[in-house]
């Protein structure tokens, strides 16, 4: 902005020189030769053309003053900004052209030379391309890139000058990223509409060679655009087929679900193979928990299919304590936007919580089939705020400290399913809760939630075996980061945000302990 103003001001002073003023405005008093007259007129024309160039530079500077401008994504405004000229200046230039035939000043060449200088300064053509600090593409692992996988300089110039534009994303600088380029600049209008326009232009220019990401730079919280070759985004291959590994984990999970519901075998695992018939006693409980696990995964699959997100085969994780820790489900495609990630992540826990809570209530309402059920101490309900609150509300004075109580085993089975859904709703890493927190509040807030959640789980692991194994599992397998979305700037719709927050709250209520004593007075206070 300062350059444009000073540039125009300097030439304004030069245009008032005595020789030029005499020749233009007092031709009858001019006595120099015709050659001198032509030279002055030529100088006058150059000043006029360069002034037009300065006005264009002024428009550029005005655009760079704001980070995100008003919603103006139409092509008409772009044409007006790029093609608008002062008719008086144009007319004056045309009149001078009719009188003399000077050497023209190529303004477009000046602009192209300036763009080329920026490109050469911002992109490394030789040597290894380094990943920028504070990379806004988490989850993309560095690769050994050859020259054929890197974006050529000519392509970068086309991206900067023709694909990105004033009506979408005005580029101010660029940096190398892997085989691609990170563009910094100013976003205009709505991020979703700008992304759609840029993607369409890129598709028309290059087909399916490159992938565009519109993200928030974690260093300064400003929008950035990243373009990388699609060949660098290929999923990793594993030595063992995915379906084979998932099947093996599934079989072990079935065994732990059965074993968890047969207390007589838990104390001596070696005797399990001598008493396989006893495992049948754990079949009803294993079925209820497996039903909740299956419904959880079915919710993910159903919503992922409707949003166009491709999921991998779920890996069910066995657990000696609660039968299973749930499933690890990889997202194998690039999620388009945060709202889609929120839908997919929240669908599983919502389905599991819904059925689990209904079965949990039925367990309190329905009497045991054998008339005895399962006998537990009332203190067991202190392990969950939700379970303890519901139990005190429904059982009333029958629930007292130190008093055994007979329950329908459906309560315990459904509670296990609720707990599995709850621990997967913890806002950490690539768990469902971690994906929900990223979709609602963004990547930076999600990383903070992850750090706090892992720290709290670490403290809880000193007193709880489930918390210990779960924090170890998160740290080594699920701590993230979550792979980048195509467009991470647009916030999700409010109704989906409400559903995501509901999932996080339900998970918190299941995991937090019930702190109030089970006495006659506590029911009134509750």
Tens of pLDDT, residue by residue over 44-67, are: 554 455 455 445 444 444 434 434
pLDDT of residue 73: 53
In a domain, 70, yes or no: yes
Q: Is residue 111 a part of any domain in this protein? A: no
**pLDDT band with cut points at 50, 70 and 90 for residue 281:** confident
User: Are residues 268 and 159 both part of a single domain?
Assistant: no
Alpha-carbon distance of 140 to 483, in angstroms, equals 7
Q: Quick check: is 112 in a domain?
A: no
Q: Is the pLDDT of residue 428 over 50?
A: yes
Determine the length of the chain.
Answer: 526
d(CA 406, CA 371): 9
Q: What is the mean pLDDT of residues 96-125?
A: 38
Cβ pair 223, 216 in contact under 8 A: yes
| Mean pLDDT in residue range 93-100 | 37
Residue 110 lies in a domain: no
Of the listed ranges 56-60, 214-218, 317-321, the least confidently predicted one is 56-60
Q: Can you give the pLDDT at residue 45?
A: 52
CA distance 507 to 33: 92
The mean pLDDT of the chain is: 76
CA dist., res. 478 & res. 291, Å (int):
24
| CA–CA distance, 331 with 405 (Å, rounded to integer) | 44
User: Do 13 and 66 fall within a single domain?
Assistant: yes
Is 425 inside a domain boundary?
yes
Residue 313 scores a pLDDT above 80: yes
Residue 236: CB atoms within 10 A of its CB come to 6
Q: What are the beta bridge partners of residue 180?
A: 177
pLDDT of residue 116: 43
Which positions ≥6 away from 213 have C-beta within 8 Å?
Answer: 136, 137, 225, 226, 227, 228, 484, 485, 486, 487, 488
First to last CA, the chain: 64
- The answer on 255 and 183 residing in a single domain is no
- pLDDT band for position 130 (50/70/90)? very low
Residues 382 and 454 in one domain: yes
Give the residue among 83, 81, 105 at the shortest CA–CA distance from 93. 105
Q: What is the C-alpha separation between 312 and 301, in angstroms, rounded?
A: 10
Boundary residue ending a domain (82, 105, 128): 105
- Count CA atoms closer than 13 A to 356's CA, side-chain side: 31
Residue 305's Cβ-side half-sphere holds a number of Cα atoms within 13 Å equal to 5
Residue 330: which domain range? 242-525
Q: Tokens 């030529």 sit at which residue?
A: 42
Which of 188, 208, 233 represents a domain boundary (last residue)?
233
In degrees rounded to 5, what are phi and psi of residue 72? -145, 85
Categorize the per-residue pLDDT at 137 as very low, low, confident or very high, splitting at 50, 70 and 90. Answer: low
Strands 223-229 and 169-177, by their bridges, are unpaired
DSSP three-state, residue 1: coil
**Residue 274's pLDDT band (cuts 50, 70, 90):** low
User: Are residues 222 and 261 both part of a single domain?
Assistant: no
For the ranges 28-42, 254-268, 512-526, the one whose mean pLDDT is highest: 254-268
Q: Where are the beta strands (DSSP E) in 149-272?
A: 169-177, 180-188, 210-216, 223-229
DSSP state for residue 27 in the 8-state scheme: G
- CA 470-503-300 angle, to 5 degrees, is 80
Give the mean model confidence (pLDDT) for residues 172-193. 89
> How far is residue 199's CA from residue 234's CA, in Å, rounded to a whole number?
19
Residue 46 placed within a domain: yes
- Confidence band for 108, pLDDT divided at 50, 70 and 90: very low
Is residue 266 located within the same domain as residue 221?
A: no
Contact assessment for residue 210 and residue 180, using Cβ atoms and an 8 Å cutoff: yes
271 and 213 assigned to the same domain: no
53, part of any domain: yes
| Alpha carbons 313 and 291: distance in angstroms, whole number | 17
Last residue of a domain, one of 77, 105, 133: 105
Least confident of 49-63, 155-169, 259-273: 49-63
Q: Is the pLDDT of residue 18 over 80?
A: no
* Number of structural domains found in the chain: 3
Tell me, what's the pLDDT at 278? 73
Domain-located, residue 273: yes
Judge if 247 and 363 occupy the same domain: yes
Q: How far is CA 389 from the centre of its chain?
A: 36
| 276 or 419: which leads in pLDDT | 419
Q: Are residues 178 and 311 in the same domain?
A: no
* Stretch 468-497: mean pLDDT: 92
pLDDT tens-digit readout, 336-357: 999 999 999 999 999 999 999 9
According to the model, what pLDDT value does residue 123 have?
Answer: 40
Query: What pLDDT sits at residue 59?
Result: 41
Report helix angle 34-63 to 87-99, nearest 10: 150
pLDDT band at 96 (very low <50, low <70, confident <90, very high): very low
- Mean pLDDT of the 441-451 span: 94
In this structure, the dihedral spanned by the alpha carbons of residues 391, 393, 395 and 400, taken in order and rounded to 10 degrees, is: 80
Average pLDDT over residues 1-9: 40
Residue 425 sits in the same domain as residue 382: yes
> What are 379-394's pLDDT values in tens digits?
999 999 999 999 999 9
Q: How confident is the model at residue 291 (pLDDT cuts 50, 70, 90)?
A: very high
The answer on 287 and 217 residing in a single domain is no
247 and 226 in one domain?
no
């Amino acid at each position: 902005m300062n350059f444009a103003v000073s540039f125009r001001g300097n030439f304004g002073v030069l245009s008032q020189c005595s020789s030029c003023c005499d020749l233009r405005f007092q031709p009858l008093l001019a006595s120099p030769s015709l050659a001198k007259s032509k030279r002055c007129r030529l100088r006058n024309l150059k000043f006029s053309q360069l002034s037009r160039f300065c006005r264009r530079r002024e428009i550029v500077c005005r655009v760079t003053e704001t980070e995100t401008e008003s919603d103006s994504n139409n092509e008409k405004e772009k044409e007006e900004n790029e093609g608008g000229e002062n008719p008086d200046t144009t007319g004056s230039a045309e009149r001078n052209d009719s009188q003399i035939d000077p050497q023209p000043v190529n303004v477009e060449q000046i602009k192209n030379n300036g763009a080329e200088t920026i490109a050469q300064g911002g992109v490394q053509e030789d040597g290894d391309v380094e990943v920028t600090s504070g990379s806004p593409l988490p989850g993309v692992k560095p690769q050994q890139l050859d020259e054929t996988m890197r974006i050529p300089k000519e392509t970068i110039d086309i991206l900067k000058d023709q694909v990105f534009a004033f009506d979408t994303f005005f580029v101010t600088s660029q940096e190398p990223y892997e085989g691609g380029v990170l563009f910094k600049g100013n976003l205009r209008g709505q991020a979703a509409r700008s992304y759609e326009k840029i993607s369409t232009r890129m598709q028309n220019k290059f087909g399916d060679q490159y992938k565009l990401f519109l993200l928030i730079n974690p260093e300064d919280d400003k929008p950035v655009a990243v373009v990388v070759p699609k060949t660098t985004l290929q999923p990793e291959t594993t030595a063992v087929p995915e379906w084979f590994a998932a099947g093996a984990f599934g079989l072990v999970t079935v065994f732990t679900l059965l074993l968890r519901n047969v207390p007589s075998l838990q104390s001596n695992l070696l005797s399990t193979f001598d008493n396989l018939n006893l495992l049948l006693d754990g079949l009803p409980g294993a079925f209820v928990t497996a039903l909740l696990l299956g419904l959880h995964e079915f919710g993910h699959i159903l919503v992922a299919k409707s949003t166009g997100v491709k999921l991998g085969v779920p890996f069910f994780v066995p657990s000696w304590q609660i039968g299973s820790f749930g499933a690890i489900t990889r997202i194998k495609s690039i999620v388009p936007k945060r709202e889609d990630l929120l839908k997919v992540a929240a669908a599983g826990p919502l389905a599991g919580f819904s059925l689990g809570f209904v079965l949990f209530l039925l367990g309190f309402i329905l009497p045991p089939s054998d008339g005895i059920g399962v006998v537990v101490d009332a203190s067991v309900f202190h392990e969950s705020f939700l379970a303890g609150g519901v139990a005190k509300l429904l059982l009333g004075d029958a629930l007292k400290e130190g008093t055994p109580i007979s329950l329908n085993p459906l309560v315990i089975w459904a509670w296990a399913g609720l707990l599995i859904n709850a621990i997967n709703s913890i806002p950490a890493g690539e768990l469902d809760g971690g994906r929900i927190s990223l979709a609602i509040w963004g990547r930076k807030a999600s990383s903070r939630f992850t750090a706090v959640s892992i720290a709290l789980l670490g403290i809880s692991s000193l007193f709880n075996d489930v918390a210990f194994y779960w924090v170890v599992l998160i740290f080594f397998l699920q701590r993230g980061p979550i792979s980048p979305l195509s467009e991470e700037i647009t916030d999700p719709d409010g109704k989906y945000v409400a559903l995501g927050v509901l999932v996080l709250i339900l998970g918190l209520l299941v995991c937090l302990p019930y702190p109030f004593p089970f006495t006659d007075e506590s029911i009134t206070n509750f």
